[in-house]
Every structure is written in C-alpha cells, then in structure tokens.
C-alpha cells in the first residue's frame, strides 16, 4: 500500500463517528485490610467510578484532593458498588463493571473500600469482644454517628497511565497517616469501546469480523515469507499482533472466541497456503481447555464442525501423497509430516470434535487406507516412468531391476525414517502397510513380465534376470522387519520364476573364472610377486576366481534345499576342474620358460614356485567347505538328502582333487629330495668308512653344533664356511640368524670333525631350497630327507665288524642331524624327528659307541630300574637298613633278615647267607665283598648283622652305583646255589645329601628288597660286551653274569 492510499483510508476512518470509550474494571480480591469491627474483622465493600476531570495537586505533598471519597467526586448514578463480604480481612469479589468515559487524558479511576457498619447494642458488641483493641473500638464507635461506615482505603489511577490491559495488585492508600499500611486490592483493567461505526461492525458479529481480519493478516505474513523463501513459523508480526489484540479488546471478545477465530482462519489457510502445521496445535489445545458447547451459537458450531472435517480430509490426502508432499530432499520434511500427524491425532481427540462431528471417523483406519492407495498410485507412476522404449526380454529385465531398486529404496526410507513417526502418533506400522502392498504389486508385475522366459534365453537376458533375481531377493529379505503375521507372502516362491536361468548363471560364473585363470597362467613369470611371498601372481588371480564363484553361491542363496544341493555340486565340480586345469597349465608354463634355460638354478627355482603355487591352491580348495558353508547346507538338506550322499558327492570330490594336488606336490618335492638323498648317502658312507687312528674316549668336552637360518631369508652370496682346520661345524640353514650354536655333549673332537663335510653339503643345498619353498613345502622336503637319512644311518650301523670309533662317528652324526633338523624349534618338530626308527637307532648307536665300563654302568642302571619296578616276591625278599655318614665317608649296612626264600636242599629247606658287594667293580676296586653268617635250615633267616664300607660320596652318585645283595644257599660239596639277588641304588642313600651325620641311626627306615633272578639270555648290553673279545674287563664281567644266569630260575 502506498502513502497516498494509506492517507485516504486514514481520512475515511477519522470521518467516522467516534466510539464510546469504556473501562472494563474487575474487582477481584483484597488482602491485609484493616479490622474495624470489635471482632477484629471487617465487612468490606467497594465503591468505584470514573472522575471525568481529574485535579492535579498544586504540590506533590498535597494529596488530600486526590484522596477524596468517591461519593464526594462522582455523581451517584455513575458510582458502582460491590457486594459486602462479612467478617473477613481477605475478601474475594470477582465482580466486573463497565465504566464509560470521554477523554482518556483527563479521566481518572477511583475506588474506595469501606467497612459496612450496622446498628448493634452494646451488649451484642461486648459479646464479640476478644481483646483490648476491641474495647477501644467500642469507645470509638460510641463517639461516632450510628450506622456510619469506616474507611478502609482507596485506589486512584489516571487512565492515561493505564496500559490497554492490566492485571495487578494495588496498594490501598489512607486519607490520614494514622494507619499507613492498609492492605492491597487486586484489580484487572481492560480499555475497550462500543458502537464502532464501520461497515463490518454494523453487518457482521464482532467474532466474524475478527476472524476475517485475522485471515487477512495471516495471508499477508505467509506470502511475505514465501517471497523471501523462508517458511513461516506461525508468529505474526508485532504490528499485526497489536491490531488483533486491540480489535479483540475493543470488541470485548472472549479468549475462547479469539482462539476459535484463530483455528478457523489457520485451518482454512493451511489448505491453500503452505506453513508449519504446528501453528494449529496451540488452537487445538486452547479450544480443548476452554470448550463449553453452550458458548457457541448453532451457526458457529456448524462452522467449527465443517473446519474439522475439511482439515481432516485435506490432512489425510497429504498423508496419502507424503512421498511427493514431504520429499526428503526438502529440508525439514520429516518435521512437517510429523507435525501434521500430531495435529490430526490431537484434533480427533478433542471433545469439540466428538460432540460436533456426529460420525467421528477412525483416524488410523482412514490413514491406513490412504497409505495403501497412495502406495499403489506411486508404484504405478514409477512403473510407467521406467517403462522401456524397446520391448524385449532383456530391456524388460533391466526395467524391472530399476523398478525394484526404487521399491527397495522407498521401503528403506519407510523403515528407517517415516515408520517411527506413524508408530509414535497413530500406533500405525507404515512399513508393514507399505511392504505388503508393494510386495503384492511387485509379484504380480514381475510374474506377468517373466511368462515368456524359457531355457533358450540369450546371455544378456540371463544377466539382466540375475540382477532382477538379486533385487527380488533383497526385497524378500526385508520381510524380516515385519511383525509376526500369518500366511505366505506373494514373493514366497519367487525363485521358481528363475529356474530356467540358473544353468546359464552357473555356466557364466565357470567360464569367467576359467578364462581368468588361463590368462593369469599365461602372464605368470613364475617369480615371487612380493618380498615376503614365495608363490607367483597367478595364485592371486586364482584366489579371486574362487572368491567370485563363492560370491555367486552366496548371492543365489537358493531357498529350495534339494535344488541348492545340486547347484553346490555343480559349483564344486567347476572349481575342481579349474584347480586341475591350473595345475596342468602351471607345470607346462614352467617347462616352457625353462626350455631354453641353461641356468639349472633358475629352472629349479621355477619348480619351487610351481610347488608353492600348487600348495597355495590346495589351501584354497580346503577352505571351500567353510566359505561355501557346507555345514548349513547339510543342516538344510537333512530331511531330503541322505548324509552319506552329501559325503560321497561333495567331500569325496573335494578330497579327490586335494589328493591329486598332493600327488603333484609330492612328485616335485620328491624330485628335489632325490638329488639331496644321493649326496647324504655318499657323505654318510664316507663318514662310516673313514679310518681314525686315534680314539679319544676320555674327551668329554661339549662341542658346538651348527646353527641355521633356514627359516629366515638366506643372505645373498655364498654361505660363510669355517676354515678347514677349525673344529666348529659350518652354519646350517635351520636356526634363525643370531641364535647361539647348540652344544652336543660328550662329542669327541674327531667325531665332530668327521661330520663337517656332511653339514657343509646340507647347508649349501638346503639354503637354496629355503629361499624358494614356502614353509610347509620345505618341511615336507625335510621330512623326506630325515626318513631317508635314518635309513642310511641304520644301514651303515648294521654292517658287520664295526669299530667303537665308527659307532661314535655315526652316533655323533645322528645327534648332529637331529639338532640341525630341529633347529631349536624352527625346523621339524621333535614329534616328527623322534620316530620309532630314530629311537631304536639312537639307543643302538649310543650303546655301541660306549666304552665297556659305560656299558657295565648302564647294565647296573637297568638292573636298578628293574629292581624298582619289581613288586613280586616269588623268590623271597631281604630287608636292610643303610646309612651314609659324610664325616667318616662310611657306608653302614645292616642286614636284618630274609623271608620267603625258595627251598633248594633236598630236605625242603635252605642254608642261606648274604653276600654284599659294591658295583660296578671298577668304581669300587678296593672294596672287598662281605658275607653274613649262614643260617641252617631256614627259609626266613634272621641275620641282624652290620657292615661298614669306606667309600667317597662322589662314587655313590655315579651312574649304576649300587649295593648288590646276593642270597646263596650254602652247599658243602658243590657250588653254592642262587636264592636271588637285589640291587640297592647308592644315590638314594639316607645321609648322602646332608652335611651332618644323622644322630639317631634308629630312625633310618628299613628297606625291603624283593629278590630277583637274571634272565638267562637276550640282554643287549651283555651281548655287546661279549663281542669285545680283546677287552678282558668286559669278558670277566660277562663270565660272572653268565654264571648267575645259569643258576637263574627265570625262563625266556
């Protein structure tokens, strides 16, 4: 509006008849007023009115004129009076008066509060007397006129100082300073007018005029915000709010009518102009709070009911088209829809809605129906939009896939974004409604399009159908978000629509993988593709091929268990074909690259890469059951396919392929091992046949064995070997670099020197293979070499006429190779090394390489162990007490008794005695044998004899050191008969490991030793000693033991 137009309208307004100004004054209550009656209370009432012309005081302190009483200033017909509230100091009136005035500049409001007095007798007043103040009031009343009211206070206000609306407590002012604090009065003021001479005021009710004015202002606000591309938040401008407030005030519109006018205006404008529906919530709440149906005229009720129905219909239509009306691409769309739903729900809950709308609709049912129809409309619109230009099965498949993507995207938005708003406001599951509707529409449309599909479809058509199948699968999986429901879905058997296309899908997956594997082999140079890898690039491509086939299986996720099993059989068969084809091609590739190669090292290197590649392929094959989840497939097919059929079909097929790969690996590894086996056999033969004139048996110093770096990357260049004159063995390629050389105990120097050529050979050969074989393949090679080495050593040890020195060299070689092949845990594990053949060979070589005295000690160690393992007393037992005194270096033995001896005389008894010797004799050459007395005709003799032996403690701790107790039956004419013998180990002597002598020998425990008989033949140690014809000590020992064996009651 321009200035001229505005000036014209202002002149028209000024020319109108001036309205009558009014002050709407409400006297609500008072508190803290004076008690004027004898009882201490008052009977207050108020007089109020408008003084047309107020008189300003000449001096600020001169207030008497302003405090004049109402009845002295205002004409009686213009004075208004409240009711009298009896006997109170906090009266409540809540009475409203309309006071007219002409000039707001000169008029003032006056209110006087009085205590109403009635004529009462002195006796009645004395009856109400409560304190001295009451008696004082009686004397005061006696001086004044009968029936005269008491002044309680007044309030005087200039109208020009009042705001348009005011509600507050005012202080009651006194006329004198006798009682300055006279309490407060609660007043409410509203400036208004009547008889406005406008056209609308004359023809329409004030309520209707106010609503039209509100509509104009709201429309203006919305259009202004839309022009500035800003959403209107429902707040009117300050000027518009002032105009509406003044109009409502002047027309004396109630709060309820104002709110109803706002509702009618806002709800109507919402259907034509876009703004935030939250603006309607305030009106709904206010109407609900103030609702009284009788306050409205019939036409107002009809108007309000029509606004409810109109907004409900419009709101539901918006919800039906929420995808278009509230697109997520527009900011705050979710808030707008949520606000609309909240408005509809709150409106339908209103008492006014239920009372005025006779047929109250079911809002959730209405919205559910609208959502279904809106979803169907959206689907058909998308279907028409994505309709292909060229009608072919291939294009139809692509169009269906695009349509499915739109449907899936819409459902995802429903589930993740929109659904919570409908559940929170309407308890309505939008995703459930939308999914069932779209799922049914999709199933019908896809089935209609796929009726022409057959097994002769083209490859592009099959590809487009595979994408369609995956999209349908994703759509069907979204059913998991649905609440529990009964009955199948329309898409329950969607996979059956694609049965004709499955063979082509599988063939395509196989063809792509096969071609990629062939290209990978053709491009492979059979060199490690990384610093830490020992296989070539083709294995990476092959792994990708298998991963793609596994992904195809996972994407299919075929629901029918029997058909899924057949698909799995086909996929496994294809992958096994690819594996065998790759194995053949990679070997041919290695041959082709090595055809004109003169460097045998490079050819062997390629062969190692081939082995590593096949081993890597084997790992890929072994992972297939886990990657393809055979366990789940077996569980699914348990009811339709026998477990044995699955085992026979899948597992056997896989095992057969793995066996083929293992055979290929073994062939190549065996070829590599054969080269080394010949060298190992040659060096061991040279080792065993070499003559050494020296035989340093007493050289017991430990010497270092080779360490190795076989599990580390081998250094470039030739390995560093020791000087020929050095006694250290060469570094073998088995231990990590930097570890110290393990020591071989009790290895003679000459034996260590003799195995240096063998260790040099192993180092030079194995280091190269370690560089080019993966860990597992290299360990397989080591295992082959270890078994072959044991066989060669066993053959060398079994040759006739070996010398002790030769056995020492072979034993040293065996222990050296054991440490070398184990390499402190970096090589073969001890479980692999310690086979039965190894343990037997080690025992045999250890015995054969030992001295005669060592063998004798070993013999007694074995007899001691047999003694400890014996619990049977079939030959009887002997009981002794033994104690060693370190201070005297004396062994004291008490022979107590023998029991249960076998009768060896013809009279059925025996004449036993005990012989005590310390064994082995070479350890105790100066200790003579001792014997007990002979007990005639006793099978349970009591000896109770003590013997002392002077021996140093270190001799007692030697291997095999023992006290041999031999029980004989004394014969006068012939040799004494053997009752039995017992071996008491000296290393377990009481007192041997203490520094002080035991004071009380009586505390030494008794030891009961079962008597034993030696076996007549078969002891390996005795046989070895007997074979040493030139060793007199060995021969003497064997002769003695043979004599005992002849008397033995033991049988083979």
Percent of the chain, pLDDT > 70?
A: 86
Mean residue pLDDT of the chain comes to 82
Per-residue pLDDT at 721? 31
Query: 101-105, 142-146, 219-223, 676-680: lowest mean pLDDT where?
Result: 142-146
Rounded-to-integer distance, Cα 723 and Cα 729, Å: 10
Between residues 278 and 622, the one the model is more confident about: 622
The answer to whether 981 and 965 are in contact (CB under 8 A) is: yes
Per-residue pLDDT at 1000? 59
Rounded-to-integer distance, Cα 400 and Cα 383, Å: 8
pTM here? 0.58
Per-residue pLDDT at 915? 95
843 to each of 183, 572, 815, how far by Cα in Å? Answer: 122, 50, 11
Q: What is the mean pLDDT of residues 88-112?
A: 91
183 to each of 42, 67, 115, 166, 919, how far by Cα in Å? Answer: 13, 16, 14, 19, 129
Per-residue pLDDT at 642? 82
**Structure tokens, 87:** 């006997």
Between residues 66 and 737, the one the model is more confident about: 66
Our CA angle for 331, 337, 340, nearest 5°, is 135
Per-residue pLDDT at 112? 93
Q: Which residues have CB under 8 Å from 213's CB, separation 6+? A: 243, 244, 247
Per-residue pLDDT at 66? 52
Between residues 731 and 783, the one the model is more confident about: 783
Rounded-to-integer distance, Cα 60 and Cα 148, Å: 31
Q: What is the mean pLDDT of residues 227-242?
A: 72
H/E run at residue 1008: strand 1007-1010
**Structure tokens, 499:** 């049965």
The answer to whether 112 and 188 are in contact (CB under 8 A) is: no
The answer, yes or no, to whether the previous bond of 474 is cis (omega within 30 of 0) is no
**Structure tokens, 985:** 């180990």
Our CA angle for 250, 251, 252, nearest 5°, is 90
Per-residue pLDDT at 184? 94
Checking if the pLDDT of 603 tops 90, the result is no
Per-residue pLDDT at 715? 34
**Structure tokens, 540:** 């990476």
Q: For 383-429, what is each residue's pLDDT tens digit?
A: 999 988 877 888 888 999 999 999 999 999 999 999 999 999 999 99
The answer to whether 85 and 45 are in contact (CB under 8 A) is: yes
Per-residue pLDDT at 122? 54
Q: For 919-951, what is each residue's pLDDT tens digit?
A: 999 889 989 999 999 999 999 999 999 999 999
Q: Which residues have CB under 8 Å from 917's CB, separation 6+? A: 927, 929, 930, 963, 964, 966
* Cα pseudo-dihedral 7, 10, 11, 15, rounded to 10: 180
Q: What is the mean pLDDT of residues 514-543?
A: 89
The highest-confidence range among 32-41, 821-830, 963-972, by mean pLDDT, is: 963-972
Number of alpha carbons in the 13 Å side-chain half-sphere of residue 561: 14
Rounded-to-integer distance, Cα 615 and Cα 775, Å: 10
Residue 752's pLDDT band (cuts 50, 70, 90): low
Q: For 637-683, what is each residue's pLDDT tens digit?
A: 888 888 888 888 888 899 999 999 888 888 878 877 777 777 788 88
Residue 133's pLDDT band (cuts 50, 70, 90): low
Q: For 152-207, what is each residue's pLDDT tens digit?
A: 999 999 988 888 788 999 999 988 776 778 899 999 998 877 765 555 555 577 77
Q: What is the mean pLDDT of residues 358-370?
A: 87
Rounded-to-integer distance, Cα 242 and Cα 250, Å: 12
Q: For 504-521, what is each residue's pLDDT tens digit?
A: 999 999 999 999 999 999
Checking if the pLDDT of 571 tops 90, the result is yes
Checking if the pLDDT of 987 tops 80, the result is yes
Q: For 451-489, what is each residue's pLDDT tens digit?
A: 876 667 888 888 889 999 999 999 999 999 988 877 889
């Amino acid at each position: 509006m321009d200035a001229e137009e505005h000036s014209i309208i202002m002149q028209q307004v000024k020319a109108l008849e001036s309205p009558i100004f009014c002050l709407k004054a409400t006297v609500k209550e008072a508190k803290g007023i004076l008690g004027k009656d004898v009882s201490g209370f008052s009977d207050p009432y108020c007089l109020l009115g408008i003084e047309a012309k107020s008189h300003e005081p000449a001096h600020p302190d001169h207030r008497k004129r302003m405090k004049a009483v109402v009845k002295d200033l205002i004409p009686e017909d213009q004075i208004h009076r409240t009711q009298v509230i009896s006997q109170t100091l906090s009266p409540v009136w809540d009475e409203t008066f309309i006071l007219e005035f002409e000039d707001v500049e000169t008029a003032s409001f006056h209110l006087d509060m009085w205590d109403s007095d009635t004529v009462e007798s002195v006796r009645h007043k004395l009856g109400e007397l409560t304190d001295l103040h009451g008696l004082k009031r009686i004397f005061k009343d006696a001086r004044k006129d009968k029936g005269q009211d008491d002044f309680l206070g007044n309030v005087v206000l200039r109208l020009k100082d009042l705001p348009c609306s005011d509600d507050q407590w005012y202080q009651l002012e006194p006329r004198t300073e006798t009682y300055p604090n006279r309490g407060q009065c609660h007043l409410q003021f509203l400036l208004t007018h009547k008889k406005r001479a406008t056209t609308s005021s004359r023809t329409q009710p004030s309520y209707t005029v106010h609503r039209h004015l509100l509509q104009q202002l709201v429309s203006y606000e919305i259009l202004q915000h839309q022009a500035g591309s800003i959403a209107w938040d429902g707040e009117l401008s300050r000027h518009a709010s002032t105009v509406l407030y003044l109009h409502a005030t002047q027309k004396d519109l109630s709060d309820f009518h104002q709110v109803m006018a706002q509702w009618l205006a806002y709800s109507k404008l919402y259907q034509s102009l876009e703004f935030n529906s939250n603006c309607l919530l305030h009106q709904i709440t206010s109407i609900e709070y103030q609702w009284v149906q009788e306050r409205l005229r019939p036409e107002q009720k009809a108007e309000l009911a029509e606004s409810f129905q109109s907004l409900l219909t419009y709101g539901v239509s918006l919800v039906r088209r929420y995808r278009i009306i509230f697109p997520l691409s527009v900011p705050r769309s979710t808030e707008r829809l949520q606000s609309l739903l909240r408005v509809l729900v709150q409106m339908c809950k209103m008492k006014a809605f239920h009372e005025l709308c006779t047929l109250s609709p079911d809002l959730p049912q209405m919205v559910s129906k609208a959502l279904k129809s809106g979803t169907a409309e959206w689907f058909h619109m998308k279907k028409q939009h994505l309709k292909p230009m060229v009608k072919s099965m291939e294009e139809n498949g692509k169009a269906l896939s695009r349509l499915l993507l739109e449907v899936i995207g819409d459902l995802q938005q429903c589930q993740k974004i929109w659904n919570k708003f409908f559940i929170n406001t309407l308890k309505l599951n939008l995703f459930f409604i939308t999914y069932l509707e779209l799922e049914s529409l999709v199933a019908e449309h896809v089935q209609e399009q796929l009726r022409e599909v057959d097994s002769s479809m083209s490859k592009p058509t099959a590809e487009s159908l595979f994408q369609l199948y995956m999209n349908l699968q994703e759509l069907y999986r979204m059913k998991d978000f649905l609440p529990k429901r009964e009955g199948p879905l329309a898409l329950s058997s969607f996979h059956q629509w694609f049965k004709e296309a499955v063979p082509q899908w599988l063939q395509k997956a196989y063809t792509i993988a096969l071609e990629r594997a062939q290209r990978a082999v053709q491009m492979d140079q059979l060199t490690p593709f990384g610093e830490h890898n020992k296989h070539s690039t083709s294995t990476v491509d092959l792994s990708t091929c298998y991963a793609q086939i596994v992904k195809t299986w996972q994407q299919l996720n075929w629901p029918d268990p029997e058909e899924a099993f057949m698909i799995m059989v086909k996929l496994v068969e294809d992958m096994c074909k690819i594996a065998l084809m790759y194995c053949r091609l990679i070997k041919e590739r290695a041959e082709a690259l090595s055809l004109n190669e003169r460097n045998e090292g490079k050819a062997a290197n390629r062969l190692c890469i081939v082995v590593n590649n096949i081993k890597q392929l084997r790992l890929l094959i072994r992972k297939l059951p886990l990657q393809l989840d055979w366990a789940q497939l077996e569980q699914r097919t348990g009811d339709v396919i026998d477990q044995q059929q699955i085992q026979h079909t899948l597992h056997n097929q896989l095992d057969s392929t793995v066996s083929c790969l293992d055979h290929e690996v073994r062939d190549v590894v065996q070829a590599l091992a054969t080269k080394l086996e010949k060298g190992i056999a040659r060096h061991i033969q040279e080792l065993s046949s070499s003559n050494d004139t020296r035989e340093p048996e007493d050289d017991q110093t430990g010497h270092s064995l080779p360490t190795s770096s076989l599990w580390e990357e081998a250094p470039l260049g030739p390995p560093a070997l020791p000087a020929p004159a050095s006694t250290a063995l060469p570094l073998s390629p088995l231990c990590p670099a930097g570890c110290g050389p393990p020591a071989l105990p009790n290895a003679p120097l000459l034996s260590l020197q003799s195995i240096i050529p063998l260790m040099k050979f192993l180092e030079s050969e194995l280091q190269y293979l370690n560089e080019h074989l993966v860990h597992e393949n290299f360990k397989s090679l080591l295992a082959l070499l270890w078994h072959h080495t044991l066989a060669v050593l066993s053959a060398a040890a079994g040759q006739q006429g070996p010398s002790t020195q030769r056995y020492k060299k072979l034993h040293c070689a065996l222990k050296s190779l054991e440490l070398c092949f184990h390499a402190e845990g970096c090589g073969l594990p001890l479980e692999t090394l310690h086979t039965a053949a190894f343990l037997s060979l080690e025992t045999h070589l250890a015995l054969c390489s030992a001295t005669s005295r060592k063998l004798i000690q070993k013999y007694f160690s074995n007899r001691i162990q047999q003694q400890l393992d014996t619990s049977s007393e079939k030959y009887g037992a002997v009981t002794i007490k033994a104690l060693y005194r370190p201070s005297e270096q004396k062994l004291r033995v008490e022979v107590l008794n023998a029991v249960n001896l076998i009768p060896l005389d013809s009279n059925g008894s025996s004449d036993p005695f005990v012989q005590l010797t310390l064994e082995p004799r070479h350890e105790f050459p100066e200790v003579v044998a001792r014997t007990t007395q002979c007990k005639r005709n006793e099978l349970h003799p009591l000896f109770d004899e003590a013997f002392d032996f002077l021996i140093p403690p270190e001799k007692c701790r030697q291997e095999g050191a023992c006290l041999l107790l031999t029980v004989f039956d004394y014969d006068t004419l012939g040799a004494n008969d053997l009752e039995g013998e017992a071996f008491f180990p000296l290393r377990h002597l009481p007192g041997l490991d203490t520094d002080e002598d035991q004071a009380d020998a009586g505390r030494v425990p008794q030891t009961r030793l079962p008597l034993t008989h030696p076996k007549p033949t078969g002891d390996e140690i005795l046989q070895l000693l007997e074979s040493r014809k030139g060793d007199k000590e060995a021969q003497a020992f064997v002769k003695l033991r043979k004599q005992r064996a002849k008397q033995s009651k033991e049988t083979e």
